[in-house]
Amino acid sequence: MRAVAPRAPVPNAAPPQARSYQQLMTKLLRHGAYPQLRKIIDKTLPADISPVLPLLLEEDRKRILSLLIEAGKAARALFELDETDLNEILDDLDDATLASICSSSAPDDAADLLDFLEEERRARILEILGATQGAKLESLLEGEEETAGSLMNTEFLALDEDLTVAQAIEAIRQYPRKESFFYVYCVDADQHLVGVLSLRSLILANAAAQLKDLMVQSVVRTQVDSSPEEVAQLVSKYDLLSVPVVDMQNRLVGVVTVDDVLDVIQEQAEEDLLCLIMPLRLPEPVS
Name the nearest CA neighbour of 202 among 188, 187, 216.
216
Same domain, 163 and 137: no
pLDDT above 70 covers what percent of the chain? Answer: 83
| 148 domain residue, yes or no | no
Burial of 221 (0-12, 13-18, 19+ CB in 10 A): middle
| 49 domain residue, yes or no | yes
pLDDT digits (tens, 9 = 90+) for 129-181: 988 888 878 877 766 557 787 788 887 889 999 999 999 999 998 887 655 67
Same domain, 138 and 165: no
Q: What's the rounded Cα separation, in Å, for the pair 187 and 92?
A: 44
| 22 domain residue, yes or no | yes
Same domain, 137 and 27: yes
Same domain, 115 and 222: no
Same domain, 169 and 98: no
| 9 domain residue, yes or no | no
Burial of 49 (0-12, 13-18, 19+ CB in 10 A): buried
Confidence of residue 269 (pLDDT cuts 50, 70, 90): low
Same domain, 53 and 169: no
pLDDT digits (tens, 9 = 90+) for 42-68: 989 888 999 999 999 999 999 999 999
| pLDDT at residue 13 is higher than 50 | no
Same domain, 24 and 137: yes
pLDDT digits (tens, 9 = 90+) for 71-110: 989 998 998 898 889 989 999 999 999 999 999 888 878 8
Same domain, 138 and 169: no
Same domain, 259 and 164: yes
| 276 domain residue, yes or no | no
Q: Domain range for residue 55?
A: 16-142
| 163 domain residue, yes or no | yes
Same domain, 76 and 118: yes
| CATH code for the domain in which residue 165 is found | 3.10.580.10
Same domain, 119 and 28: yes
| CATH code for the domain in which residue 49 is found | 1.25.60.10
| 60 domain residue, yes or no | yes
Cα dist. 170→86, 90, 177, 248 in Å?
39, 39, 14, 31
Asked whether the whole model's pTM tops 0.75, one would answer no
| pLDDT at residue 219 is higher than 60 | yes
The total of structural domains in the chain comes to 2
| 283 domain residue, yes or no | no
Same domain, 51 and 97: yes
